[in-house]
Amino acid sequence: MKTQRHAPLDINELRTIPTVSVERAGEYLGVSRAYAYLMAREGRLPVIHLGPRRVRVPSAKLLAMLGVDA
């Protein structure tokens, strides 16, 4: 399996983009990719469905989950 490397987490960057991937949201939350997708399936991570296999997390809602002002 290919591992992708992301830039370091930056809350200010999160404020400038409308959505992030479920994987990236998991990184901000400090959980694994698998657990982030489980949270999304269970409705514990707010998501937008853009297609049958494309899911994004609204940045504003993720910031709220993190207790940070948007």
Domain residue spans of the chain: 12-65
Per-residue pLDDT of the chain (70 residues; tens, 9 = 90+): 556 666 788 899 999 999 999 999 999 999 999 999 999 999 999 999 999 989 999 999 999 999 998 6
* Residues forming a β-bridge with 21: 56
Which architecture does CATH list for 12-65? Orthogonal Bundle (1.10)
Token pair 């207790």 is found at 67
pLDDT for 25: 97
**What pLDDT does 2 receive?**
58
Is the torsion defined by CA of 21, 27, 32, 36 positive or negative? negative
Degrees, nearest 5: CA angle 68-15-3: 100
Beta-carbon contacts of 36 under 8 Å, excluding residues fewer than 6 positions away, are: 22, 23, 25, 26, 29, 45
Q: What is the pLDDT of residue 58?
A: 98
Angstrom distance (rounded) from CA 16 to CA 67: 17
